[in-house]
Each structure stands twice: as structure tokens, then as C-alpha cells.
Amino acid sequence: MSNATPSRRQFLSGCAALGAAGASATLANLFHVSQAVAATSSATDYKALVCVFLLGGNDSYNMLVPLGGAYGDYLTARGTIAVPEAAAIPIGTAGYAGRTFDSRAFGLHPALGAGEANGGLSALYADGCMAMLANVGTLIEPVRDVDDYQSGARRLPDYLFAHNHQQLQWQTADGSPGGQGAAGWGGRLAQEMVRHNANGGTLLPELSMNISLSGQHAFLGADSVIPYTMSASGIERLALPGAEGSVRQATLRRALLGLLGVPNHLMGDHLAATKQRADNVAELLSGAYDATALDTTLYPAESSLGAQLQAVARMIDVSRNQLGVRRQIYLCTLGGWDTHADQNARQGALLAELGQALHAFHASTRAMGIGAEVTTFTASDFGRSFNSNGDGSDHGWGGHQIIVGDAVAGGDLYGQVPELRLGSAMDTGRGRFIPSTAVDQYAATLARWFGATDLATVMPNLASFGASDLGFMAG
Amino acid sequence: MLFCHSPSGTVVPCSSAGRAPRWAPVRRVASAMLVGLTLLGGGAGVAQAQSACTVPLASSESIVRFLTQATFGPSKDEICRLARLVAREGSEAEGFEAWIDEQLRLPVTPLADHFDPDSGNLQHARARRFAWYEAAVGAPDQLRQRLAFALSEIFVVSDKDGTLSRRDGQVGLQRYYNMLLKGAFGDYRSLIGEVSVDPVMGHYLSVVRSQAATAADGPQPDENYAREILQLMSIGLDMLRPNGEPRLDRDGNRIPTFDQDTILAFARAFTGLNYDLGEPDDNPCRGWGGRGTDFTRPMVLCERYHDADEKHLLAASDRSAVLPAGQGAARDIEDALDNIAAHPNVAPFLSRRLIERFVTSNPSPAYVRRVADAFNASGGRLGATVRAILLDDEARSERIANRSYAGKMREPVLLVTGLWRAFGGSLAGLDPRVAAIEPFGQAPQGSPSVFNFFQPEFQPAIDTTGERLPAHILSDGLYAPELQVMTELATIQTHNDLRLLIHGNAARVPLAFDDELALQRQGAGPLVDHLDQLLLAGTLSDALRLALLEILESPASNRDWPVRQRLYDALYLVVTSPEFAVQR
């Protein structure tokens, strides 16, 4: 936090101060780096953004529950999928008092406090290391209310409520319908960082600035950015027949790599280029990656997201300390959020997993001394219908998101929570609420923190909306 | 590095040949000959002399190409069978047609029951996948098997769902797959009829126990199945022309097929479906609101929870869009499915989906139109549709197949089945608990979501082919669905999986290489030609040919690099190559 501007937010939260000093001392033994890594450590300027995409559409109206006077409308709309008011974990109102939420009280889903080992996300919120952004979603231009929505005067995102298209639009957010192959804003951000400062990007042509732990998604790609996709279980190398060092193995390796450079077929060549990159990175990094040692005790057991975030932590360690990389953007995903049915059990388990994984990852970054250099944030296809379908909820539009890190002005809510009532001004039907904040603004706030100066290049449709800094980043 | 044949027939770097013109670049030995491929057929140790055949080279290429599209991979037996048909009918076109008609008449080979009731969830999952591979590799009704697999990637259910991952769910998933197998050649309307009341789908897309609203601000029917059957399984999101291109309005915008109100109307039509928890004449409402499931029988209808009001469905359909009030759940569901099936989008939408699974990721609009016409002319019969897909000039033309963007990628399971079938692999008699049948980066009925393993419109974020080829995926607006799962990670894992299937691992499916070893004794050239014909339909590149010759003729001693290992290594190089990953 050396050169961050002190803000009101930091006074309130104290997260950053705790992160830099107190916590890292107590957590120092969490992260056992190898001698070599320890000796060469310390890139001075490092930042990572970690996107956790919740595939399927998180029902965030159960992640952040209205308490007190507004609870009645909530219960009416949600019925059996409502979080009991007494079970929600109340969050202090001090942070947002005087802004749009005054006199409105909220609580977190009880599963966000789960985890005997780490206390989940509610602990991070209380410590000021986590913020929430309310009712953010895909927009082409602001839509004031449901009359505005129905007027035909507003350009609306194509294919609202469809998983694949809304995922794409969340990840591309350039004011267009965002078809396949469109650049993701993580990709554009990486491009921008490289363009303005070669040293701000990766120093290695072999390793992309953008790394996915969960397959190919539009978010990380752009014209000149080919994301690297790796596994949560590590960096696997090509296995070759024959003994190490034998003529046989050497001949086969030379032959198969040689073939990757020979033009043959459009798709085959794309595959060949991918395989070539995979081999380059594996040969370069698999040894160093394997040598990292991470204390995994805080991570939830048998959690896909936990495993992905552990791998991110190890990859950050290797990239930053051994490769001198200074900017990275990661993508992790967690599926299963399309809770049309059995929502109480399914979403509860997912939120517990999410909370514990994010909490553990935050601890890992602190143990590495970079709690304020890594910001983790969530995204999801859409929010869900506020109206229940009996034991679940259906596809919606705006929803709330989580931002975690020591540079976050946490312990606070940002954006605007719509009036959570069926038939309210922002309800397009069944409580599919119009987003009051655009993904573009959310992304721009993160991009500015990341160091982008030309925000209009990263988020070309940003000018259509109001604030380009939503205030949730302190550092 | 360029390699050349020396006068003695060995392969050496061309540079070491100096500028001597007598050392010609390596060419296919059999390029101008009609002797072609000799196939002995049969598995290891099993004499099957009757399948031995000789196929003229020119025919073998188109036969192998055809079978690569129409089956889980050309086996030697199937190549011989088709070659005999071609000879009997007098032309390739008629031979292929005869083969398809033969396939359309074959009885269904259902997936076998390998479930051990005493075993746990993981073993059930394994037993289901084992049965799938067993049929994919060994069943005679290959066209039906391949079509059912394609349908399983359109009418998606998956064991990534928690409930379906468990024992009853795994058994249910297999029964669902057998339903697809049984209905594969039948008509589309019947198929969606079965899918829509299947309890596995009912659970997966949560239509089961969806109930009518009792108050405007109370719970509403579940929209999940209503949305996805429209978006993914029938008409898609945009109004289509008969050739599959989107219709545009006066302002040049695409026209949506439905809106949120349409979805809600279908959701209301699909209310009242319940698991069948009792005898046929039992109360069909039994267990409503509870947690009991049944994945063995079609769902039943509970009128009490069905929405009896009038519903307005797809107005663009040729069948009535209005379901009158009070006609009951059964009639509502039938009428709703009729309304979907009679929508003009169904033929082009489904035709394109199926073309993508069998032939190419980038069909021309005219091709889609011809197949859609066949779909309509046959009353929506999928067997007739696939027949039209495979016999179309755009599927058969070698000129088109030679384009740099022709065909499609083989998805991971097709790489595996292709390897196994080419060399007499069979799962019969193997122990389902230990056989090396997974994971291969993809498991049938195991996609991450209802959007399958990959999406039809997938394009990579960047063209990596540079200036090397005349076309590009992204900038030329082409699609490459399977590339979505072929990440850096997947390329390495798939490569390593294939290595184990050839070289390693006591649990691997045994393969027979008698023919290849015999050819190898004749020389590297004949063996390479054979692998070219059998695995690549004669499209082996010069670069791969040279690499194979180098392996087979390496001066390394026999002790350092035994003859049999060289054969395995050559095969390994072929199946892990970018060339084999493409189905032209």
C-alpha cells in the first residue's frame, strides 16, 4: 500500500493495514517458498486481477438479503427459497450510511459465514477486505426503469436471459452484442497494459499475461492476447515414449514438434499452435511450478474453485518471483449456479464453497505479501428472477458481485440496490431487475486500479454510463 | 529439414544429398498404383479370413473418408464390407447409399448393463461409460450409434449434475441414451415427445414437479426446460431462412424467435409432470413436493398442479399457437410439442446441428437447405436426414475436402474410438472396473452444462494461422466448435492419453497389429502408405510422411529402438498429429 492515496474507506476498513503488517506475520508460515524463490523474490510492481466467474447465474438476491422493513416484500416474492431473516448475517451499515442505502439493512447468506477454518466471506467483509457491488449487469446504455425498458427507445443487450449470450456479454462488454470470437475486456486490458508499458506486461513471449484455470472463455482473449489455459492440478508436460535422453525419444520429440509448424488445415493448425504454446510453457515452467509449496489447509476440500485458486496462487508466485512478470489476469470458474430447482441446498453449498475458497486465496496472497496487489472479483451470467418458481429461481438480469483484496475499500456496498419488490420500477417481469450499474463501469474501476490509463480503449462503451470509478478500490 | 530417399531406399536429409538430382524428395510409394491397401481384418489371435480384402487405392480413400464421417471410425471389417458394396453396386455413390440403407435396417444395439448394484456412484459412472465405448467401438449399427451420440450433444443431459452423478442417475442416463438410440432414425416430433417426459431430462432441466402459479406474486412455473428446448433443441434464438441463415427485418436486424412471455407460456404448458413413483394406476401426484425420484420410467401427469389456463405459444409455427383453457396436461404437452415441431426453424436448425456433428463445422447455406428439405420431405425423420447429410455432394466432394477449412475437428472421444476401431480394438470381455476408458478430456453425457462440451458458434479469440493459409477462422467468420475444448491443457492431456492407449498401461484396450507388422517387414514405405490410407484417408502430409519414414528407418540399433516399438511410435505420431485431429 506504499503509494496508495489514503481514503475514507481505508480508515473505515483497516483491511489494508491489517493485511500489510499484522496478518502477514501471523500467516507467514502458510506459504513455504523454496529457497531459490525466496532469494530472488520481490518484483516491486506487481498486480493481478482474478475473475471468478459463477457459471449459470448466481441468485445474488439470496447472497445479499434485505432485512427489516424490506424483508416482507422479499419473503413474498421468494417464498420457500427465501433466506430466513434470522439466519442472515447482518452487515454493518456504517460503511454505506448516508449513501443510497441509508436506512436499509442487509445481511449475507449464512453460507458465506461457513467454514470453521476460515470464517468464509462474512469475516472478510467485517475486516473490510471485501466489498459488494449491487445490481450490476449487461447494458448497452442506461435503462432508467421498466417504462424506459419497454419504450423501445433504449438499445438493449441481445438475447437477454440466455446463458451463453449473457456470459459473452459480461465478458466482452464493448457495447456490441458480443458474438463468439469478440475480444474480452480482460483481453483488451492486457493489450492496453502491454501497449503502454512493455515492462508492465509479461517479459516472456512464451507465457501470456492472461491465464485461464477453466478452459476457454471470451473474457481473456483479444486481438494480440492469446490466453494460456492450464489445469488446477498443475502444468503437465508432453509424455514421450522411450527413455529420457535416448535417440528414440529425441527423434520423436523433434518429429512431433516439427509437425506443429507445418501448415495443413485451418483448425488443425490452430490446434498445432495451441499445442506448441502448451509445450513451450510446460518446458519453461513445470519444474518451477512443481517446486512451489502452498499451505492448502484453509482451502475447502474437494473444491474445484479452491483447487483453481490454489493453482493461481502458485502461478503468481512463479511468475512474479522467477519470471519478473508484473501484470497478470486470471480466470477461474465455478459451475452449478443455474438453480432452477433445489436452490436452497445447491446454492447454499456453492456459496459456502465460494466463500471459503475466496477467503483461503486471500490468505495465500497475504502470505506472499501481496494482499494488496491481488484483487479477486466475481461475475456471473445474470442475476435471477426475484420471484420464485417453487424451489428455485429463473434467469434474470442485474445481480450483485463480490470484490476481495487488501486494496479493496471493503466492508461496504457500492452501486444501487433496486427496490426489491415484485412490480417495482426496475422489474421487467418476475423480478428480473434492470441493472443500475453496467459491467463496463465495474470493469473500468478494476482496470483503473490495475494501471490502465486509457479506459476508453479497454471499455469502449464506458462513456454511455455515468461514473467510471465506482469507488470500491482504495489502493 | 527436408528428407530425401537415397538410392538404396533409406531416408536421409536432402542436404546431405548435396545437389544430386538423383535423390528425389520422398513420395508416396503407391501413389500411382491401384493395388492399395491390403486389409487382413480381425482381432488379435482371431482368424477372420473372410474379412480380408483388397481395395483399390482410389476407392479406399473415399471409403475411409465416408466411414470416418458415418461411424466411430473406419474398422478394417467395415472398410471391406463397404468396398464389397461399392463393387456390387458398381459405383461409390450407390455403394454408400446401399451401406446407409443397410445401416438404417439394422436392429438397435442398446448400451449393455454393466452396473453392479453393490458398487458405488463412481463405479456406476464407469460402468455407463464402459458400455458406451463398448458399443461405439463394437456395435454393428454404427450409423445409429454415431447419430445417437450426436443427439446426446443436442438433447443434452449430463452426469455433472449432482443427482445424475449418483447410482440411480447413472442408470437413468444410460436408459435415456438407449431411448436416443431407439429413436435415432425416427421422426423428430416423436423424439422430443420422449425427451420431454423423460425423468432424466425432467430432473436435469427441472421441469419435473414444476407447478401452476396460484397467485400473481407467488411462485411461477419453472422456465428452464421451456427455454432450453426452444433455444438449443428445436428452433434457436433467431428466425431462420430455409437455408439456415438468419432472417432480417427491414432494418437489417435479426428477428427473435421468442420472448420471455413465450417461455412462460411453454413453462405453463409443461407444468404437472411428476416422477412415476408407483404402479400405473396409482396417484400420479404421489410424492409431489417431496424428494423422491424415479429415473426408470417416463414421467406421469398430475392434473392438480397443471396450469389449466389458455396459453399462447409460437405464432410462427404452422400448428396452432393457442392452447385452449382446460384441455388437460397431456393434450397441452402434445400440442405444445406439435407447435414447436411445426415451426419453420426446426428443419434448418436441426439440419445444421447434425451436419456439424457428422461432416463439417461450416456447411454452405445450400447444403443446409438440401438437408432441411430432406428433413421436411421425410416428415422430420432423422434417419432420412442423416442419409441426406452423408450422401450430399458437399460431404462427398474431394475438391471440397481439400479446402484448408474443410470438415471439422474430431472431438476427443472420436480420436480414441477412431484409433481403437482401426486396429480391431474391442472392449468385450474387459473388466469395466479397470479398463483404461477415461477420461480423454470428454466423457459421453458428461458435458459441463446443457450447452454441451462446445458451442456451434465457437470461434477462437485470435487467428493463430497467420499468413500460412488462405483462410482464417475468426476473420473469415468460420466456426470451429470442437476447438473450444482443445486448450493448451487439453492438447497435452489428449496427447498423453493417446500415448498410453498405444504404448502403455496394462489396462489399455488391446489392439491388433498383425497386418501392420507384416507390412513393416515389406518396408517402411508400404507401412506408411497403409497408415495413410487407414487413418487419414490418403491425406497424409509430406511432412508427416517424412517423419514416419525417419522413425521407421532410423539407423538406431534394433536393441535401442525395436521394430515393434517403431511401429507403435509411428502410429503414435500419426494419431497425435494435427492431421489426425481433423476430419476432412
DSSP B501-553: HHH--TTSPP---HHHHHHHHH-HHHHHHHHHHHHHTT---HHHHHHHHHHHT
% of chain B beyond a pLDDT of 90:
80
Lowest mean pLDDT among A183-187, B478-482, B503-507: B503-507
Chain A nearest-CA distance from B486, in A, is 7
| DSSP letter assigned to residue B112 | P
pLDDT level of residue A24 (50, 70, 90 thresholds): very low
Mean pLDDT of A171-191: 87
The candidate with the shortest Cα–Cα distance to B207, out of B215, B217, B197, is B197
Answer yes or no: is pLDDT of A27 > 60: no
**Angle at which helices A185-196 and A163-172 cross, to 10°:** 20
Going by pLDDT thresholds of 50, 70 and 90, the confidence category of residue B369 is very high
Of B220, B462, B495, the CB nearest to A223: B462
Contact criterion met (CB < 8 Å) for A269 and B469: yes
Give the angle A396-A398-A402 at the CA atoms, nearest 5°: 120
Evaluate if residue B372 carries a pLDDT over 80.
Answer: yes
pLDDT in tens, B119-171: 999 999 999 999 999 999 999 999 999 999 999 999 999 999 999 999 999 99
The 10s digit of each residue's pLDDT in B331-368 is 999 999 999 999 999 999 999 999 999 999 999 999 99
Question: Model ipTM?
Answer: 0.92
CA A2 to chain centre: 25
User: Is B260's CB within 8 Å of A161's CB?
Assistant: yes
Helix (H, G, I), strand (E, B) or coil at B31: coil
Task: Determine the pLDDT at residue B382.
Answer: 98
Q: Work out the minimum CA distance from B51 to partner chain A, whole angstroms.
A: 33
For residue B361, list chain A residues with Cβ-Cβ distance below 8 A: 267
pLDDT score recorded for residue B244: 98
The model's pLDDT over B86-107, given as tens digits with 9 standing for 90+, comes to 999 999 999 999 999 999 999 9
Is B403 within 8 Å of B394 (Cβ atoms)? no
Q: Return the minimum-mean-pLDDT range out of A119-133, A333-347, B283-297, B330-344.
A: A119-133
Q: Which residues on chain A are in Cβ contact (under 8 Å) with B222?
A: 340-341, 389-390, 392, 394
* Residues from chain B contacting residue A335 (CB–CB below 8 Å): 160, 448-449
Residue with cell 467454514: A115
Residues pairing with A171 in the sheet: none
pLDDT value for B32: 30
Contact between B449 and A335 using a beta-carbon 8 Å cutoff? yes
Contact (CB<8Å) B578/A275: yes
Mutation to test the B interface, candidates A265, A344, A388, A395, most B Cβ within 10 Å: A265
Check residue A5 and give its pLDDT. Answer: 35
Tell me the nearest-neighbour CA distance from A273 into chain B, angstroms. 7
Q: Is the pLDDT of residue B391 over 90?
A: yes
Mean pLDDT across A287-299: 88
Residues of chain B with C-beta less than 8 angstroms from the C-beta of A245? none
Distance CA B173, CA B7 (A): 60
* Separation of alpha carbons B455 and B464, rounded Å: 20
Predicted pLDDT at B17: 41
Position B467 scores a pLDDT of: 58
| pLDDT, average across residues A105-133 | 85
- Of the candidates A182, A216, A256, the beta carbon closest to that of B484 is on A216
Q: Of B222, B465, B560, which is closest to A340 when you measure between CB atoms?
A: B222
How far A169 CA lies from chain B's nearest CA (Å)?
A: 14
What are the phi and psi torsion angles at B255 (to 5°)?
-110, 120
The set of cell numbers assigned to A344 is 436452497
A459, A174 in Cβ contact below 8 A? yes
More confident residue, A133 or A45: A133
Residue spans of alpha helices (H) in B71-140: 76-89, 92-105, 121-138
Instruction: Look at A24 and A430; give whichever has higher pLDDT.
Output: A430
Of A271, A282, A385, the CB nearest to B483: A271
Taking an 8 Å cut-off on Cβ atoms, the answer to whether B224 and A340 are in contact is yes
Whether B11 and A255 have beta carbons less than 8 Å apart is answered as: no
Residue A15, pLDDT score: 64
pLDDT at B454: 97
In this prediction, residue A22 has a pLDDT band, given cuts at 50, 70 and 90, of very low
Residue B12: predicted pLDDT: 47
Q: How confident is the model at residue A224 (pLDDT cuts 50, 70, 90)?
A: confident
In this structure, the strands spanning A399-404 and A393-395 are unpaired
- Is B489–A236 a contact, with Cβ atoms under 8 angstroms apart? yes
B427-476 tens-digit pLDDT = 999 999 999 888 788 999 999 999 999 999 998 877 776 655 667 888 88
- Phi/psi region, residue B571 (left: phi>0; alpha: psi -120 to 50; beta: rest), is alpha
Residues in chain B: 584
- Kindly state the average pLDDT of the residues A317-345: 94
Span A203-209, average pLDDT: 74
Mean pLDDT of A290-313: 92
- Chain A, chain B: beta-carbon pairs less than 8 Å apart: 263
Share the mean pLDDT of chain B. Answer: 90
Contacts of A80 in chain B (CB under 8 A): 219
Residues B19-71: pLDDT tens digits? 333 334 444 544 333 334 555 544 443 334 345 677 877 788 999 999 999 99
Q: Which pLDDT does position B38 carry in this prediction?
A: 56
A168 → chain B, closest CA residue: B458
Question: What does the alpha-carbon distance between residue A204 and residue A382 come to, in Å, rounded to a whole number?
Answer: 36
Q: Does the structure show a pLDDT above 60 at A18?
A: no
Q: Is the pLDDT of residue A38 over 50?
A: no
The pLDDT mean for chain A works out to 86
Core vs surface per residue B275-286: b (16+ CB within 10 A) or e: bbbeeeeeebbe
Determine the residue among B248, B307, B488 to mutate to test chain A binding: the one whose Cβ has the most chain A Cβ atoms within 10 Å: B488
Q: Do A278 and B488 touch (CB under 8 A)?
A: yes
* Alpha-carbon span B357 to B385, nearest angstrom: 13
- 8 Å CB contact of B461 and A266: no
Mean pLDDT for B260-267 is 97
State pLDDT tens for residues B270-325.
Answer: 999 999 998 766 799 999 989 999 999 999 999 999 999 999 999 999 999 999 99
Please name the member of B237, B492, B573 whose beta carbon is closest to the beta carbon of A282.
B492
Residue A99 has what pLDDT?
53
Please tell me the predicted confidence (pLDDT) of residue A103: 63
Q: How confident is the model at residue B499 (pLDDT cuts 50, 70, 90)?
A: very high
Query: What distance in Å separates the CA atoms of residue A419 and residue B186, rounded to the nearest whole number?
Result: 51
CATH topology of domain A8-236+273-464: Alkaline Phosphatase, subunit A (3.40.720)
Provide DSSP, A382-414.
--EEEEE-SSSEEE-S-EEEEEESTTB--SEEE
What would the pLDDT profile of A366-401 be if each residue is shown by its tens digit?
999 999 999 999 999 999 999 999 999 999 999 999
Gyration radius of chain A's alpha carbons: 22
Task: Report which of residues B323 and A226 the model is more confident about.
Answer: B323
For residue B444, is the peptide bond before it cis, meaning its omega torsion is within 30 degrees of 0? no
Map grid coordinates 428466425 to a residue: B239
